[in-house]
Amino acid sequence: MHREMLFAALLLAVTGLSAQTASADETVYRWKDSSGNLHYTQQPPVGIASEAIKVRKGFSTSDETAREPTPEERAAAEKAELCKVATRNFEMLSGPGAIKRRDEYGQDRTLTDDEKAIERDRAKAGMDLNCAPAN
């Protein structure tokens, strides 16, 4: 549900952005000089044939970061995040000191040593499942 709401908000933002940037389109002119060198200018050259190219500001088709990640890339990123969280939790639960947790009533309470051990085992299982083995 949370992802769906986030996607809807993102879609609205992108749609609004597209409407704003569509009016900001501009024309660039591509032409070759007498030596055959290619040029791009904002004004058409005088007396030389040129090609008008519409440019949408804020968008790039060659930007690798703009492409959608593959399902494998998304799964790997999610697994890496789960590894990071499990590792951080394991380290925290393995260290000295009290660990506090908020209960279902919104009250903070300190975990017992047994509860801390159970949570540490759970974090270790998360690390085993999501962290790549060291080579």
* Per-residue pLDDT tens over the stretch 67-85: 788 999 999 999 999 999 9
CA distance 13 to 74: 22
Note the pTM of the prediction, 2 decimals: 0.48
Quick one: average pLDDT of 14-35? 63
Quick one: average pLDDT of 47-72? 76
A 10 A CB-CB count for 36 gives 6
pLDDT tens track for 88-128: 999 999 998 899 989 899 999 999 999 999 999 999 999 99
Highest mean pLDDT among 10-19, 23-32, 112-121: 112-121
More confident residue, 10 or 84: 84
- Is the Cβ–Cβ distance between 109 and 100 less than 8 Å? yes
CA-CA-CA-CA torsion for 50, 51, 56, 58, nearest 10 degrees? -60
3-state secondary structure of 127: helix
How do the domains of the chain map onto residue ranges? Answer: 24-59, 71-129
Tokens 């009290």 -> residue:
98
